[in-house]
Amino acid sequence: MQIDLAGRTALVTGSTQGIGAAIAAGLARSGARVGINGRSKERVDESARRLAQEVPGARTVPVVADVTTEDGARQAAEALPEVDILVNNLGIFGPKDPLEISDDEWRRYFDVNVLSGIRLTRLFLPGMVERGWGRVQYIASDSAVVVPAEMIHYGMSKTALLSVSRGFAKQAAGSGVTVNSVMAGPTHTGGVEDFVYELVDRDVPWEDAQRRFMREHRPQSLLQRLIEPEEITNMVVYLSSEQASATTGGALRVDGGYVDSILP
């Protein structure tokens, strides 16, 4: 399948590292002009330099903005006024005793993981509908369905994204704009190796360590290894393409079979 995104402009929130950086590279590799987003100009510029080395000829736009705030969302729209592909990737996570999660923490997770994407969708969706083409995606998680006891606040925010994406897909019905969620499973990102080695013998080679970690601590996974960010990127790039024109309102899983369900 040849995916050509030449002539399209994409914005990937939280794209200076991890899954976001991989998605930005994948979209650039397919020909899109990509807005690199982060709160720090230094990190955004460094990420753009890394992407240019990884994808020669990549076209990037720095989008220095804290999109978790109304002012930051407006700044992003000023930096990149016309967006064809919006990937709401920005998110936070962390374990917490469910009975010790404060009201402020509940609000913070909702503001960062959910409301930031809603704001940007409100800003960019009308233009997509007017032009008759667009792609909006929310990076959700297996935790939206298999809610971890130690991360209820995180799971709540990812469950909300499934509802948000389905609702906006209905708002965009018949317009040529698609809206979907991508449910990512346990993923190999920065810091995960240290976390794995906290639970598994450090003398074990990485490939063996991660498989042991998955068997003992994430036994629901059918993949039995961590997912690489590029594997999530493949789904995002496909959903951004012309070939995915009939896929909308969906919650598409890149979870390695972690969710024990036939349907999403």
Each residue's pLDDT tens digit, 86-135: 999 999 988 889 999 999 999 999 999 999 999 999 999 999 999 999 99
Q: What is the pTM of this model?
A: 0.94
CATH (one of 1.10.940.10, 3.30.56.10, 3.40.50.720, 3.10.105.10) for 9-187+228-254: 3.40.50.720
Tally of helices (H runs) and strands (E runs) in the chain? 9, 7
Interacting residues of 11 by C-beta distance below 8 A, sequence separation 6+: 34, 35, 37, 63, 76, 80, 83, 85, 86, 87, 120, 124
130-181 pLDDT tens trace: 999 999 999 999 999 999 888 899 999 999 999 999 999 999 999 999 999 9
Angle (deg, nearest 10), helices 152-171 and 116-131:
20
CATH 3.40.50.720 domain locations along the chain: 9-187+228-254
Task: Tell me if residue 154 is catalytic.
Answer: yes
- Structural tokens at position 69: 């705030």
Cα(63)–Cα(41) distance, integer angstroms: 8
Which of the following is catalytic: 109, 138, 154, 258? Answer: 154
Q: How far apart are CA 251 and CA 264, in angstroms?
A: 6
SS3 63: strand
Name the phi and psi angles at 221, rounded to 5.
-65, 130
Burial class (CB in 10 A: 0-12, 13-18, 19+), 212: middle
pLDDT at 57 over 90: yes
For the residues 67-83, what does the mean pLDDT come to?
Answer: 97
